[in-house]
Structure 1
Amino acid sequence: MRDYIKRFLIAIIMALCVSLLFLGGKHSQAASLDEMKELQEHWIWPADGVISDTYGTRQGKHKGIDIAGKMDTPVLAVDDGIVIKSYFSNTYGNVVFIKHPSKVVTVYAHLTRRNVYVGQNIKQGDVVGKMGKTGQATGTHLHFETHELEWRYDKKYAIDPEMLLGKADVGEFVQGGVAASGYNVLEASSHVKSSTKDHSLQAKANKYVVQQGDTLYAISKKRNMSVKKLKDINHLSSDVIKPKQILLIE
């Protein structure tokens, strides 16, 4: 009888411990979501280009977003921080890791070159590198990741960048240096010579809005370029396109 009571009491204590852990976890998660909402009103998009892939695709293995653009497009720091890694990887190519005061780590991959070094303090809008296709990349684009606390090889702490940058669908054009909330242009690095208006006009001159009935083949003929080139520039893995999708045209 005493053994039964003893086991019963142990079971109750264990249940209480599990409940406390669960409540603590819920509280931390809620705090994290509030912090993310604040970041979303402050962070800027890291580069001009078209969203070519989003978080969680490729059977859940794609732990970031892809922004397809022109070679050597400036890649900007989304917020203040410190460079914790800057090196060449066989997969990421030229890649930069920045840790921010919010404890979020951002990753900027496939750069044609890196402009920063480990230990460097970074301000929001500083040019950390130029867009390229180094490493395992099929076309010119920025692969951008966000991680809570730290980056790990298994990407355990990866979070969807759109939770911090704002929602953007595949084919949608985004502009580097523009905040997610209200699209107010924030001051960017002096390395970016042209004005926001000039950037916008340049972007419009180099993009094509897909119309009903368009095919990659038809567009390539109109623009005197191959389908392969068109797919490479836009980081497309298939021939499927949809109306109102924006394609970069070299």
Structure 2
Amino acid sequence: MSRQPSKDTAVEWAVRRLLHAAGLRYRVEYPVPGMPRRRIDVAFPRAKVAVLIDGCFWHGCPQHATHPKANADWWRIKLDRNMARDRETTEHLIAEGWTVLRFWEHEAPEEVAERVEAAVERCRTLAVRRLLHAAGLRYRVEYPVPGMPRRRIDVAFPRAKVAVLIDGCFWHGCPQHATHPKANADWWRIKLDRNMARDRETTEHLIAEGWTVLRFWEHEAPEEVAERVETAVERWRTERRRGRKE
């Protein structure tokens, strides 16, 4: 049992490669804040997203856990202690404001990476929203695009007609961080080209409807994004006040 790797496993490497290919940058073996002897397998400190990939044997996977017969009592205490430690670490991170994503080593790396990317993007959008709320701005989230109800605006100011969209670097073709998977290359090229065409179509439609469209990349600092959004909304308020006076 001691020969089972505890870190830098094949699954961790596969997930990290997929995240890197998606344009996400992260820290590996990041110290748990307030628990420096414990580590987060893959961490996104700014977004406060912690990814932990647990070995089925060492952490008590309900699907694949096994119980050694030799020294059975010792192993039971050891593995129970591991699971208690996992719960304690998760609760501590949540209390510190982190989003904790735990996966088993048997889960498909592609599915893990997809869920991590969605969580990071959601947290970055949430950071922008917190800043906007702190600035006294009120908005709608996941607002339907007028005339295109199946599409959504990440953060919308319907009265001001300001649409804020925060795009993932991989899925939307960031010129700085976009990557092109080599496996199924043609399929991915068509898929990503379609995403970018859809983005252009949505932007053009909103502009035609009289909206101000602000698009940002997920790598942009939330503070800068919030500042530009606040400026756009304030510009609308100023024009509105001026129109009333006239």
**TM bucket normalised to smaller:** under 0.3
TM-score by length of 1: 0.25
Higher relative helix content: 2
Q: Larger relative CO (CA 8 A, sep 6+): 1 or 2?
A: 1
